[in-house]
Structures are given as structure tokens and as C-alpha cells.
Amino acid sequence: MVDIVIENVTKRFGTFTAIDGMNAVFEDGAVTCLLGPSGCGKTTLMRMIVGLETQTSGRILFGNRDMSGLPPRKRNAGMVFQYPVMYQTLSVEENIALPLNQDKSLSAAERQRRIDEVLDVLDMRDRRKLFIGDLDAGSRQKVAVGRAVARRSDIVLFDEPTTNVEVQAKLLLIRAFKLVTQRLKQTIIYVTHDQTEAMTLADKVALMRNGRIEQYDKPANLYNRPASDFAGWFLGNPGMNFVPARAVAGGAETLLTAGPLALEGALEGGKDFRAGIRPEHIGLSDEARPGSVPGTLKDINVSIAGRFIARVTVDGQDIKVKTDRVPAARRGGQVHLFADPAEMSFYADGRRIAAV
């Protein structure tokens, strides 16, 4: 197991900067998800780690070994692509065995032991003799995962391996992936633009934006304590609300709170202050309560998870609220919002600076 060290790495394509002076350490034995919007540089970073692309400047190290200039086959890193090459006329077992056959240092018994182990964790023992062509897309991807981890390379990289898999099979694949990685403890880099996948799989998430890492953190921290307004907005469905805030003696006032709040961390004067709060941390009722603020119900929809997403206008600003009860008020009617101050974060110039 080795850390992956990204040291001041920049990658340019002509005049376009895809990775911009990045520094990070992706920890050994952990699953790190590279998450971010399309075009933020996830695939480029991964291709540089595996050696399919060369950085314009900076270094990439595995542990203390500098990988610069080494071709992919010398890096002891495996990779699973969105559309991996699978040998249709070979069986499940034969596909998993392929990389092991190339390793002449392995005894036949050890080779078989590793294949059996992978088949067990993937729960595919009884399908070992089936041909790849007879499997559905999810099972084929499972075999691709198995083939990549059976080699026991130090590092395994996955480029959106669930892209081509339908939702139900996706969940099974993710569960299999989690079991495999927990058992084999390799250093895993997993690229995805799907936040649910990243939150489910990752020990740590590197949230990327414009060729930089915006926040590198445990999933729960990333969600509960987003370090930037971008992180708050990108994660969550829908993302965080941001409302104007104002520094007052000893704390702040916000659009969503009735009185001043005492804060941990100082608000410096003269900046663009905003308070961030997630839609599920705002309550909605027909009656006013201590600490609530009035607003106008704009609309209410059912979300996929079975909760309601209401949009409420407060002082001209739309606030998203996730609630499990529908108010009696009709569209255009008055409702009251009560934001939980303990769940608020304060941002200045896009960075988190304080909390209650």
C-alpha cells in the first residue's frame, strides 16, 4: 500500500489549464473519490496518476517513488474504465485470471486462491464458468472490478465504472465494490460525478473545480461543513441555500433568523457575508413560531426520496426547504420558516469563516 502524492502538478493542453498547481496526498489503503462537475479535470488527473498522460510540471509520487517518466506498466497501478475491454469468449474466471497469468512469480495454487477470493467477495462463485457475453452490464463491470483488484497492484483507479449500468445493478455493483476494497485494502482512486456514489464509497472525497481541489475531506464533513459556497451548492439535492448576513456586535444577523446569532469565528467587516443552510435544516409551518421568519410559498414538489421540496420567497429571495409535511397554505400564501442556527455556516468571499 502506498500514498499517492500530487506535488504542485499542472497540466496544460495548449493554452488551456486542465489541472492547476494541485497539491494533495491520497492516503494508502483508502478509497478516495474524485468528485466534481464535468470538465473539472478528474479524468486528466487520473490519467496522469496511471501514466497515460504526462503532467506539464510538478511531480506525482507513489510513496516516495517519483513516477515521472515511467510508463503505465511500470507503475503497478490497475485501472477500470467506463467501458473496459472484456473478452467475450472467455469465462468470468478466465477474465479474472488474465492479469495473474502474466505474473510468472505466482504459483498455480496462489493464482487459484486469489481468483477464488475475488469470486467469493463478488458473490460470483456459481457464475465462474459463464461467458462474459452472457452477463448483464452490471455483472460484466463486477468482473472488471475483480480483474483489476486480483492483481493486487498497490493502486487501483476507477473511471466512472458505473456509467453504463442501470440503477438497480448499480447499487449491487457499488456494494460489491465496497466489499472488495474493504477486504483487499489497496489504495483506490475512484472518479465520479455522482455525489451519492462518492458519499457511499469514499473514505475521503476530493471535490474538484476548475483543475483544483476545492475540499478534500471525509464525506460527512464535506456535506455538513462545506468549506466553500461551491461545495455547499454542489453537494445535496438540492444544494445549500445562501442568504445575506450582516455582522453585528458579537455575531451576525441573517435573512432567515429573527434575532442576532452569537458566532464562533470572527466576521471581518466590509465583506460579502452570506449564511449557508441546507434545505433539510429549515422547518416550514403555517403559523409563526419564536425565531421564525415569514415568507410566501412559491411552489412545492415531491422529491425522489419522497420528501417535499418547497420554494419559499423571503424578501425577494427564493429559499429551498426540504420537508416531510405539506403546509395548508396554497401557492402564493403565507408560511413561516425556522432555520436551525446550529446548522448554519458563514461564508465570506466564498470561503467558510464561521459557525454558530
Which positions lie near ligand ATP, rule CB under 6 A?
13, 16, 18, 36, 38-44, 193
Dihedral of the CA atoms 59, 62, 68, 73 (nearest 10)? -150
User: What is the distance between the alpha carbons of residues 55 and 259, in angstroms, rounded to a whole number?
Assistant: 52
Q: Which is nearer to ligand ATP, 16 or 301 (CB)?
A: 16
Cβ-based nearer residue to ligand ATP, 19 or 284: 19
Which is nearer to ligand ATP, 15 or 107 (by Cβ)?
A: 15
Q: Which is nearer to ligand ATP, 49 or 354 (CB)?
A: 49
Cell (9 digits) for 329: 397554505
**What is the distance between the alpha carbons of residues 98 and 128, in angstroms, rounded to a whole number?**
14
Minimum CB–partner distance for residue 172 and ligand ATP (Å): 23
Q: State the minimum distance, in angstroms, from the CB of residue 32 to ligand ATP.
A: 15
Q: Cβ of residue 17: shortest distance to ligand ATP, in angstroms?
A: 9
Upstream peptide bond of 260 is cis (omega within 30 degrees of 0): no
User: How far is residue 44 CA from its own chain's centroid?
Assistant: 17
CB of 165 to ligand ATP, least distance (A): 16
Phi, psi of 342 (to 5 degrees): -65, -20
Q: Residue 206 Cβ, how far from ligand ATP at the closest point, in Å?
A: 12
Give me the least distance between CB of 46 and ligand ATP, in Å please: 8
List the grid coordinates of 190: 475512484
Distance separating alpha carbons of residues 12 and 18, to the nearest angstrom: 6
Cβ proximity to ligand ATP, 18 vs 261, nearer residue: 18
CA angle 55, 60, 61 (to 5 degrees): 160
User: Which one, 9 or 122, has the nearer CB to ligand ATP?
Assistant: 9
d(CA 183, CA 309): 39
Please, what's the b/e burial string for 138-167 (b: 16 or more CB within 10 A of its CB; e: otherwise)?
Answer: bbbbbbbbbbbbbbebbbbbbbbbbeebee
We find the least distance from the C-beta atom of residue 347 to ligand ATP, in angstroms, to be 24
Taking the least distance from each CB to ligand ATP, the nearer of 16 and 108 is 16
Instruction: Name the helix (H) or strand (E) containing 282.
Output: strand 282-285
Quote the distance between the C-alpha of residue 265 and its chain's center: 28
